[in-house]
Amino acid sequence: MTSGLPHPHPPGAGMKASGPPGKQPLAEPPGPKVRTTRVKMSLLLRCLLLLWLPALQVSADWCYNNATCGPSTWVTLGMCNGTKQSPININSSAAVYNASLGAFSFTGYDNVSSMVSITNNGHSVEVELGEGVSISGGGLPDNYVALQFHFHWGNNVTNPGSEHRLDGMQFPMELHIVHTRKGVNLTTATSDPQGIAVLGFFINVAPVNVDSTGLSNILKNISTTNSKISNPGLHISINTLLSGVDLTQYFRYSGSLTTPNCSESVIWTVFKNPILLPSSLINALPATLLNAQNVPLVNVFRPPQPLNSRQVMTSVKTASTTTGPTSSSSTTKSSSGQDATRLPSLSGLTALTLAVLVSLLFRN
């Protein structure tokens, strides 16, 4: 439908015929200035891609036992290629005594109702803790609130799976109790060099094969990934799990989360004495639980990472230990981490690099 008004530019008006009839005139090639701008834009986009790619890959899937997504591939995820990574092999003879690493104060560790849920998350068994569980002291710079604890294991009692090693020895399992700085959520804590405090406990085989924890009976109900039991009714406290462990003897170093995005925001405390659990429970974890591919959940640990320039401190003073500084601050410095659940923002260094690139590319 037309309005009846003349077209503002009738066909052919103001156009010069060019070339044989029926052929459109050729467009003029872009000038040198346009071509230069396009090249600069292309270079800028490539630089942006290189800067953002590691951050984008933080959300990528990861696993323990597949060559395409196992620990050897994690270097492309988050901070997993950092210089303060965990776990490590703890050389007890090289640990430096630190007088500030005194006794801990444990709140809510004796509460038999603190375990509010237990989940198979496809990578481990995670027990969520309720409110009122926290730690302080022990050379920590603040109070830390407990969120959850989880386990790492191998294939059975004869194929160990602890993440940390003690003088080269790998234990059958390891327990991690994860805390964040008081008043700080986990997302914010991962960008604070002292935002997370993890208590690590080696687990060895008890001489008596009796499971007093009740965990063996629950495992069959969370065999598949993402299965969860709320209010599991374990009626045991964290102290029950830690019975027999000397909580005054431990090692301290600054490190990272041991799973992607491997945020370097963890004050690690690894206790010298192991927890003792029955072989039936240690064997039940890999025999009962399945990952997302319905494959047995076995060997769920990251290998030891280089210590680099870090110093491991100890609360244990022996004839062989060297005396170090009394301030705990020297043992808890680390690079800030990134949040694995969202796209991280550019760090100060990356932003500065980007600004320099833009300046160089578009400088007249």
Please report which residue ranges of the chain form alpha helices under DSSP H: 32-56, 186-189, 215-219, 238-241, 279-288, 348-361
Rounded to whole angstroms, how far apart are CA atoms 312 and 84?
A: 12
**DSSP label at 29?**
P
Catalytic one among 7, 9, 123, 164? 123
**DSSP label at 147?**
E
123 catalytically annotated:
yes
Pairing of strands 165-166, 144-153: unpaired
Q: Which residues have CB under 8 Å from 163's CB, separation 6+? A: 86, 87, 152, 174, 200, 258, 301, 302, 304
CA angle (173 as vertex; 170, 179 as ends), nearest 5: 110
Residue with tokens 């990574």: 85
Q: Which residues are catalytic?
A: 123
